[in-house]
Structure 1
Amino acid sequence: MSYDRVRDIDPAVADALVGERDRQENTLAMIASENHASEAVLEAQSSELTNKYAEGYPGERYYAGCEYADEVEELAIERAEELWGAEHVNVQPHSGTQANMGVYLAMLDPGDKILSLELEHGGHLSHGHPANFTGKTYEVEQYEVDPETGYIDYEELRAQAEEFDPDIIVSGYSAYPREVEFERVQEAAEAVDAYHLADIAHITGLVAAGVHESPVGVADFVTGSTHKTIRAGRGGIIMCDEQYADDIDAAVFPGAQGGPLMHNVAGKAVGFKEALTPAFEEYAQQVIDNAEALGTRLQEHGFELVSGGTDTHLVLVDLRESHPDTTGTVAEEALEEVGIVLNKNTVPGETRSPFNPSGIRAGTPALTTRGFDEEACAQVADIIYRVVDTPHDDDVKAEATEEVEALCEEFPLYEREGSIIDFE
């Protein structure tokens, strides 16, 4: 995009947009919750649906002129139902957090009990952190991963549930590198007559492609983001059995939101259609293969991975053993200098501040979208090792910058014929 029309009106914003485009082209996005949408998704999200208010649902809008908004939302719903096998889907949540809010509002009263994973052990703010609306509205108790293995101890989770007696148990995580056993969480929920919310924000695409266990048909509610591993329009989604459909829809609108962002719903519809292609199944498997290659090479360099490896799209590195004097913040900043963009992250048993933690989280969805394979991801691991090992060495960082630039040129965004991001 040239952003010429924006530049005519607002050169400052145009400069920022061009800068962001260039930043994405010339750096390696390894934040596990980020990806690169296709040009078709970007085009849908910048469409004239930006202008349309469509409060309500298809066929039951509060405003006139919604025939095309209805068509787009119905397509998004139908494709989501096909992708995940859900009986009912709401595609209006503005984000994964607001999808969770919709479930809580529909099924809980203020003061009800939530049992969820501790944030520093891989959970999410919207699962009950005291700074979030969930922690302010509900009584929250949190479970942890096993400190020795880094895995969720499902027997301990069930025992904690029986003692706490929650109204809802939350599974699905933001920094847990292992496949989730949703059936076992469901068993714990049934044992205490609680609902089970599976938040698959990070793994929506992996679940859709069948390379990760699905909670649809197992958990009472499944929420997710639509812009991470699924690579569709930015926002959230709620899936549930038909018996909860009316309550969920009412909680989203008018309960938690006003008019839906119909341009984002259009981006969801287009991205879901892309995800229904055989190419997407190949992509999702490659995401996992790349994460395994990345993690294995990091281990060869002496890094300790939480849980000892990964089954998913991310690796979580605990720096305390290999680099006790290097915090996740120092590592993140040094890597960003050379063009590798990932995030500092807490680790189980964290002893530092969440703003200056002991770990880093690295994901492979965006690299895989660019066309990276296992060999290229192993090369990235080599660069990460050298930079984290000597984060203040300018010569090392200069050499690393050149390698990152070469990788960006080898695997460009939006310009390469036959790219995995090209679904035509």
Structure 2
Amino acid sequence: MNRNVPPSPTAKQEIYGLVERLERAHEVNRAAINLVPSENRISPLVERSMRLDFYNRYFFNDDLSADFWWYRGGESVGDIQSSGTAALARLAGADHVNVRPVSGMTAMLVVLLGLGGSAGSPVVSVAAASGGHYATAALLERIGRQSRAIGQHAGHIDTDALRKVLTSEEVPLVYLDLQNTLHELDVRQVVDVVRECSPGTRVHVDCSHTLGLILGGAHANPLDAGADSMGGSTHKSFPGPQKGVLFTRDAQVAEDLRGAQYHSISSHHFAATLGLSVAAAEYEVFGQAYAAKVLRNAQALGTALERHGFEPIKERSVITRTHQLWLSVGTDEQATDFSAALASAGLRANLLPDIPGATGLAMRLGVNEVTFEGADEQSMAELADIFALVRDGHIDQAVKMREALKYGFGEPYYFQDASDPR
């Protein structure tokens, strides 16, 4: 290729066209109401931090050592990562915070490699059919460990099955990866069984979905319940960039995690890490009120949907005690059609198999993002009205109501711009 030849006008138009498409799609997404529980938006201040030169820079000098600037470019802002790590430590009540994972899945990999024993070791996790993460068992097998998946119901692990595994094998790790749940996980119950049957076994809580609820004080802190470590992704109920984080109060656990992380993660996406620092600082201001509102909104939406004739999937007669709620919406075809109809009205929902208590596809909803944007219990009632309009075929009315609702939310749980006086 002759690099001295200028690009053709056609090529330039095509590239500009791609960017214009992205911008239009961005505006459509911003106007939509997103009810996917595994997603969240980032605040305007976090978004600003993600657009800077640091997006393409490596940063390895976590300790800000004067003689370890082997990669230049982060000297002037490395202390911002440090302050963000300190904010996360305060929120979690943790002595050690690892912000190197780039996602919840890489956080999972680090924990399984660092705490999961040697090749061939059995590791306990939560069965996918009862709400555990779909990938854990397969990942364990791929890295040479053995999966011992056990069930749970309504936040309670099958302790009989857990005792059986712990007393019959040397288990280095119990990995509590509950991703689909309407109830808070009873970590203390698990820790008590582990300490009784196998004191040397470590307990890690993958709280990717409920991290925002935990750091906001709406759910109990697993570290307070005796877990050796916890962590996960930072973009679900916690409103941060797509990243991962790990917490512990145990220096040896922190060292083991860092050792595994060193050989499994190179770039930790520096701009996203700086964005996480900003998100943590904002969460110290807004997190407690936001997390409490998430729980109220989830219950309010489920109750309002039930009044409209929808069928929430309940556990122990409870609609939800987390940011999630689940709907049974008929056959797989009916579920797909309803999800598409909601999308045409500007509402984003999540269809999933393996929802406990459901057959086939169920609709998994989350109120974390709309709550972050300022929605309240009255907003949830109006959302249920929109669901009913879509179900009954009144898409145009649903669009108008969604537009009015979206732009009528109250104060969000973040600083809106640099001049925000709050």
TM-score range, shorter chain: 0.7 to 0.9
SS of match in other structure, 2:372? helix
Q: C-alpha separation between the residues in 1 aligned to 2:54 and 2:27?
A: 27
Does residue 20 (structure 1) correspond to residue 13 (structure 2)? The answer is no
| TM-fit CA distance, 1:74 | 1.2
Aligned residues of 1:53 and 1:63 also touching (Cα < 8 A): no
More off after superposition, 46-55 vs 372-381: 46-55
Q: 1:330 to 1:281 in 2, by over 3 A?
A: same
Match of 1:136 among 136, 142, 146: 142
Q: Which amino acid aligns with 2:304?
A: R
Q: C-alpha separation between the residues in 1 aligned to 2:22 and 2:359?
A: 38
More off after superposition, 362-371 vs 136-145: 136-145
Does residue 203 (structure 1) correspond to residue 224 (structure 2)? The answer is no
Deviation per CA, 1:327-372: give whole Å up to 9, x if none.
Answer: 43333222112111011022225543xxxx2x11100111112211
Does residue 29 (structure 1) correspond to residue 34 (structure 2)? The answer is yes
Deviation per CA, 1:100-128: give whole Å up to 9, x if none.
Answer: 11111112223322222222332213422
Deviation per CA, 1:262-307: give whole Å up to 9, x if none.
Answer: 1111001100000111x32111111111001011122222413231
| TM-fit CA distance, 1:325 | 7.2
**Which residue is 2:3 aligned to?**
none
More off after superposition, 61-70 vs 289-298: 61-70
| TM-fit CA distance, 1:145 | 3.4
Q: 1:20 to 1:188 in 2, by over 3 A?
A: farther
More off after superposition, 299-308 vs 258-267: 299-308
More off after superposition, 60-69 vs 46-55: 60-69
Does residue 371 (structure 1) correspond to residue 364 (structure 2)? The answer is no
**Which residue is 1:406 aligned to?**
404
SS of match in other structure, 2:223? coil
Aligned residues of 2:60 and 2:71 also touching (Cα < 8 A): no
More off after superposition, 374-383 vs 152-161: 152-161
Q: C-alpha separation between the residues in 2 aligned to 1:337 and 1:156?
A: 47
* Percentage identity across paired residues of the two chains: 23
Residue segments in structure 2 that go unaligned for 5+ positions in a row:
1-11
Q: Which amino acid aligns with 1:421?
A: Y
**Which residue is 1:116 aligned to?**
125
Does residue 58 (structure 1) correspond to residue 99 (structure 2)? The answer is no
Q: C-alpha separation between the residues in 2 aligned to 1:330 and 1:123?
A: 27
Q: C-alpha separation between the residues in 2 aligned to 1:407 and 1:401?
A: 10
Query: What RMSD in Å do the two structures reach over aligned CA positions?
Result: 2.5
Deviation per CA, 1:182-238: give whole Å up to 9, x if none.
Answer: 111212332234221101111111111111011124211211212222212320001
Q: C-alpha separation between the residues in 1 aligned to 2:53 and 2:347?
A: 35
Does residue 342 (structure 1) correspond to residue 340 (structure 2)? The answer is no
> Under a length normalisation based on structure 1, what TM-score does the superposition of the two structures give?
0.85
Aligned residues of 1:202 and 1:229 also touching (Cα < 8 A): yes
**Which residue is 2:78 aligned to?**
70
Number of aligned residue pairs: 392
Deviation per CA, 1:238-261: give whole Å up to 9, x if none.
Answer: 1122122222112112x1111221
Q: C-alpha separation between the residues in 2 aligned to 1:220 and 1:56?
A: 26
Q: Which amino acid aligns with 1:199?
A: D
> Under a length normalisation based on structure 2, what TM-score does the superposition of the two structures give?
0.85
Q: 1:143 to 1:298 in 2, by over 3 A?
A: farther
Does residue 251 (structure 1) correspond to residue 260 (structure 2)? The answer is yes
Q: C-alpha separation between the residues in 1 aligned to 2:57 and 2:157?
A: 47
More off after superposition, 370-379 vs 66-75: 66-75
Q: C-alpha separation between the residues in 1 aligned to 2:386 and 2:152?
A: 30
Q: 1:398 to 1:77 in 2, by over 3 A?
A: same
Match of 1:125 among 120, 126, 134: 134
Please show how residues 12-411 of structure 1 align to structure 2 within 5 Å.
12-55=17-60, 57-59=62-64, 61=68, 63-65=70-72, 66-108=74-116, 109-128=118-137, 130=138, 133-137=139-143, 138-146=145-153, 150-162=154-166, 165=169, 166-190=171-195, 191-192=197-198, 193-217=200-224, 218-240=226-248, 241-253=250-262, 255-277=263-285, 279-300=286-307, 301-307=309-315, 308-319=318-329, 323=330, 327-346=334-353, 347-348=355-356, 350-352=358-360, 357=361, 359-388=362-391, 390=392, 393=393, 396-411=394-409
| TM-fit CA distance, 1:64 | 4.0
Q: C-alpha separation between the residues in 2 aligned to 1:403 and 1:8?
A: 37
